Structure 1
């Protein structure tokens, strides 16, 4: 769960259409319009999360290969985004918004590729509660929103205060490199999480439990837990 929380923090705090536009709205329009815009981004993010969960859950649970492909596809996009940030110029460019508001925030998330890449990465890896997909998904949504809102409010505050600062080109360049490094760290964390789970599953002991007909059949620890829940006969 700690690895998941850290990944959420690093993914959200790095520059993307959502956070950069939040800072841009704060810099151009102030707190009040910015708060409506952040509320729209929050609603849009949760809608994207539900779309990813409902559309991929059955396939991911049934096909481990699909889960791996989705992980590396999203990690590849995040790596590409990190490269673009690292190679960008010294200027930190904000996405311009002409009519910031609740619906503007919602619509941005629907067309934001980072939102889909981030949600796919987070919901197809970092499996910290494999016994119940529903419980794990609910906990992930709770953790994401708990981290997401304060960080976006901080970006909004940074946008409001940015015009009062006089950043040098060197400092702006360092910011770009740090954000790129954070994205690469998330890629490594997500891949490591999946590999660690697979290694753990591959070395899990196989236990034989008598079935109803007296014949033995192999049981993994996860299946033993399901026995305890009463889904199958226990010893």
Structure 2
């Protein structure tokens, strides 16, 4: 169980679309709006986990045509987000809309996030610790995963809010944006190669 918890921690804390967009929403809209977005990410990641555990994700992804369309949509959307982050200029927030993305935006991001599928597949199909009681193991994994997931995302949100409060030069903002975008694309590419 400790190995599972360690795997959850390291797989979730690494920069990916969820945590990077959380920092971006925090930087652009503050803590309250960021918490609504994190609630959406939370619901989305648990929906992805349910799809993995139930076999729905495997069933849908078994059809090569559907898988290709979903991968193209998710890769395109996440590339779009990375480009917006990279070219946000002196703003740390990549979101140009007047209103924050909210709960629905978080749910959508997680359902097209290949890292979410790769992480949940790795966590729920590996690291078995109760082979004699699969249902209890799955419930325990959900509890452990969420107990680690929530504080990590709140920490990334706080980091985004804190970066916004700093009076950084436009050059430093631009460097941070490009580093966030490159990190995001690297994780997306790794996740896509794991799922293909």
Q: TM-score interval w.r.t. the shorter chain? A: 0.5 to 0.7
Larger Cα-atom Rg: 1
After TM superposition, give the deviation of residue 96 of structure 1 in Å: 3.6
| Partner secondary structure for residue 136 of structure 1 | helix
Return 5+ residue gaps in structure 2 as ranges.
60-85, 87-91, 188-196
Give the Cα–Cα distance (whole angstroms) in 2 for the partners of residues 153 and 137 of structure 1. Answer: 24
- Which has more helix, going by share of residues? 2
- Between 96-105 and 143-152, report the one with greater CA deviation: 96-105
Larger RCO of the pair (alpha carbons < 8 Å, separation 6+): 2
| Partner secondary structure for residue 146 of structure 1 | helix
Give the Cα–Cα distance (whole angstroms) in 2 for the partners of residues 127 and 51 of structure 1. Answer: 18
Deviations along 1:171-216, whole A, 9 cap, x unmatched?
A: 97xx98xx8xxx9xxxxxxxxxxxxxxxxxxxxxxxxxxxxxxxxx
Return 5+ residue gaps in structure 1 as ranges.
60-88, 184-235
Matched positions, count: 145
Q: Give the structure 1 partner of residue 38 of structure 2.
A: 38
Find runs of 4+ consecutive structure 1 residues off by over 3 angstroms: 56-59, 93-99, 165-169
Give the Cα–Cα distance (whole angstroms) in 1 for the partners of residues 117 and 11 of structure 2. Answer: 12
Give the Cα–Cα distance (whole angstroms) in 1 for the partners of residues 115 and 53 of structure 2. Answer: 16
| Partner secondary structure for residue 30 of structure 1 | helix
Deviations along 1:114-156, whole A, 9 cap, x unmatched?
A: 1001000101100011111111100000001111111100000
1:20–1:94 CA contact under 8 A, matched in 2? no
1:21–1:96 CA contact under 8 A, matched in 2? no
Could you tell me the TM-score, scaled by structure 2's length? 0.65
1:22–1:152 CA contact under 8 A, matched in 2? yes
Distance 1:112 1:13, change over 3 A: same
1:40–1:105 CA contact under 8 A, matched in 2? yes
Q: Give the structure 1 partner of residue 160 of structure 2.
A: 159
Distance 1:8 1:165, change over 3 A: farther
Q: Give the structure 2 partner of residue 2 of structure 1.
A: 2
